[in-house]
């Protein structure tokens, strides 16, 4: 299996960093090929613009989707963007490792999606959802929260975490064809002691060793 792990946290020594390292080491030790996109270390530019492309179809008026279609036809994506799109095309499994910030993706990771999920290359026309470009590939969110677990059920203080994640599961990952696996969630790691953190990392490694056997979620229309 070929796995891509996208890591979006500014501190390597964070618990997110430990989860990222656990995934890289566990999948590699199991014989899988592993590629990474450590966005902060890479100093990835999350801001879209004309710099996404080597040349422009219309230099006078920038419309990103039309330029993405043009770049798809002319091999015209900027080098940093082409590298990331190529990783998407290469992998069988993609994992996003991130902290839940303001009930969504960190800006760095959202900007990666904005730039890398390019029209024409990763979606478009009839190539959506069940007929998506990445049909047959799988994706998983691995994330931490600031609040405790009891704050995230339906009707609780912070609301239903499944509903919070649905725009990512359905509107990003399934939209381009990925089958979505159940998220790996660690609630409030800042409140945990070292033994608890170690236990959670061990459980994550155990899950990753059997990840190929997992059945995707049903994140359908409702």
Q: What is the CATH number of the domain that holds 129?
A: 3.40.50.360
pLDDT mean over 68-79: 97
Domain that holds residue 31: 2-212
φ, ψ of residue 38 to 5 degrees: the values are: -90, 90
pLDDT mean over 137-148: 94
For residue 166, being part of any structural domain is answered with: yes
Burial of 68 (0-12, 13-18, 19+ CB in 10 A): buried
- Partnered with residue 138 across adjacent β-strands are 93, 179
Q: What pLDDT, on a 0 to 100 scale, did the predictor assign at position 55?
A: 95
Q: What pLDDT, on a 0 to 100 scale, did the predictor assign at position 153?
A: 74
For residue 222, being part of any structural domain is answered with: no
pTM of the model: 0.94
Instruction: Tell whether the model's pLDDT for residue 138 goes beyond 70.
Output: yes
For residue 61, being part of any structural domain is answered with: yes
DSSP state of 1: -
Q: What pLDDT, on a 0 to 100 scale, did the predictor assign at position 152?
A: 78
Instruction: Tell whether the model's pLDDT for residue 220 goes beyond 70.
Output: no
Q: Rounded to an integer, what distance in angstroms lies between the CA atom of residue 141 and that of residue 151?
A: 19
Instruction: Tell whether the model's pLDDT for residue 24 goes beyond 70.
Output: yes
pLDDT mean over 164-170: 94
Instruction: Tell whether the model's pLDDT for residue 44 goes beyond 50.
Output: yes
What does the DSSP assignment read for 42-67? HT-----SGGGBSS-S-TTS--HHHH
Instruction: Tell whether the model's pLDDT for residue 38 goes beyond 60.
Output: yes
Q: What pLDDT, on a 0 to 100 scale, did the predictor assign at position 219?
A: 72
φ, ψ of residue 219 to 5 degrees: the values are: -105, 60
Number of domains in the chain: 1
Q: What pLDDT, on a 0 to 100 scale, did the predictor assign at position 222?
A: 46
């Amino acid at each position: 299996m070929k796995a891509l792990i996208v890591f979006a946290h500014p501190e390597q020594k964070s618990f997110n960093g430990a989860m990222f390292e656990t995934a890289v080491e566990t999948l590699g030790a199991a014989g899988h090929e592993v590629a990474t996109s450590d966005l902060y270390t890479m100093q990835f530019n999350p801001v879209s613009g004309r710099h996404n492309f080597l040349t422009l179809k219309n230099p006078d008026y920038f419309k990103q989707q039309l330029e993405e279609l043009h770049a798809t036809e002319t091999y015209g994506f900027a080098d940093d963007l082409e590298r990331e799109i190529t990783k998407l095309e290469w992998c069988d499994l993609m994992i996003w490792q991130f902290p839940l910030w303001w009930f969504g993706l960190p800006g760095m990771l959202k900007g990666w999606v904005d730039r890398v999920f390019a029209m024409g290359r990763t979606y478009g026309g009839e190539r959506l959802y069940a007929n998506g470009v990445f049909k047959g590939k799988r994706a998983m969110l691995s994330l931490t929260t600031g609040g405790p677990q009891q704050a995230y059920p339906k009707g609780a203080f912070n609301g239903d975490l499944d509903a919070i994640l649905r725009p990512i599961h359905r509107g990003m990952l399934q939209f381009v064809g990925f089958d979505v696996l159940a998220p790996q969630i660690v609630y409030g790691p800042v409140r945990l002691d070292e033994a608890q953190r170690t236990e959670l990392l061990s459980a994550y490694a155990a899950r990753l060793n059997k990840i190929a056997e997992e059945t995707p979620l049903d994140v359908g229309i409702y």
